[in-house]
Amino acid sequence: MTELALALAAVALNAGAQLLLRSAMHGVEGGVTSARQFASLLPGLMTSPAILGGLACYILSLGVWLVVLSRLPVSVAYPLQSLGYVMVVLSATVLLNEPLTANKLLAVALIVLGVLFLARGHA
């Protein structure tokens, strides 16, 4: 597998973790507002399939990322992580029905352009 494919896999796993964790927290009315409230939610969260899936994605992404860092300079690899923002914004729109605004689209376009410039300079 190429370095770029590995990096994208790690980023996708990390983005998947974010989406799963958000999905698990979606039912918390009004959001978590105190340490006490979080502590009361913790037992249920630790058995939530979405939380467990998110943690598994994080662990897998870490393993893949370590392989990426063994093959690419960190100055090239780390900026690829910004593609996670793109993945999360687009996926959250489709999977979580979050709004896709003009500002979000502009931000996504700027991130993609930045990554393309970086990749072009590395080639």
Express each pLDDT in 52-96 by its tens digit.
999 999 999 999 999 999 999 888 888 889 899 999 999 999 998
Q: How far is CA 40 from CA 27, 28, 34, in A?
A: 14, 12, 10
Over the stretch 6-23, which tens digit does the pLDDT of each residue have?
999 999 999 999 999 999
Rounded distance, CA 119 to CA 60, Å? 24
**pTM to 2 decimal places:** 0.84
Of residues 19, 11, 113, the one with CA closest to residue 61: 11
| The pLDDT value given to residue 90 | 92
| The pLDDT value given to residue 122 | 60
Rounded distance, CA 77 to CA 90, Å? 22
